[in-house]
Amino acid sequence: MEEHYRAIIEAIGENPDREGLLRTPHRAARAMEFLTQGYEQDLDEIVNGAVFESANDEMVIVKDIELYSLCEHHLLPFFGRAHVAYLPSGRVIGLSKIPRIVDMYARRLQIQENLTQQIGQSIEQVTGAVGVAVVIEAQHLCAMMRGVEKQSSRMITSVMLGRFRDDPRTRQEFLELIRSSGR
């Protein structure tokens, strides 16, 4: 990967042997490995058995989960926050596992629409929940730094599964709770 970054530096007309750029191909390669580490992870590994029996059947929400990803179309970052909720059906997942699942999928080349679905489907699969909801709000550097250059634009995506899709009251409760203060 380092050789490719060196070639990119040369292709834009820079000298990769210039003092400030000498180790840039190495640093850029390590950064890309970090930013795409989600390809090396899998759901079972992330969850690591942290699903527990519970009689709770009320909504569980983890909101304002920071996320950082790379747009698969331009290899530019997008970043924002995810809100994830589920309605348990006899099992709950360890609290830290939800942000880890978000990170696993965000640390891949992505589009926000797919990222939202992947998170929702994974939470549903792992917990057996009767409903899962995910909302992601993110800013995309591909729309801010190039193209339309709209710095204030945000993209919002959602996926509603099970009762969140079928029951408007459950969906509304979730949306009101993620809008509430306490950030």
pLDDT tens-digit series, residues 58-98: 999 999 999 999 999 999 999 999 999 999 999 999 999 99
Alpha helix positions (H), the chain? 2-11, 24-35, 43-47, 97-106, 112-127, 141-144, 163-166, 168-179
26 is in an annotated binding site: no
The answer to whether 83 is annotated as binding is: no
Q: Is 74 annotated as a binding residue?
A: yes
pLDDT of residue 181: 60
Residue bearing tokens 């549903």: 124
Active site residue ranges: 71-74, 112, 140, 142
Cα–chain-centroid distance for residue 83? 10
Q: How far apart are CA 66 and CA 174, in angstroms?
A: 18
User: DSSP label at 30?
Assistant: H
Which has the higher per-residue pLDDT, 168 or 183?
168
The proportion of the chain whose per-residue pLDDT surpasses 90, expressed as a percent, equals 91
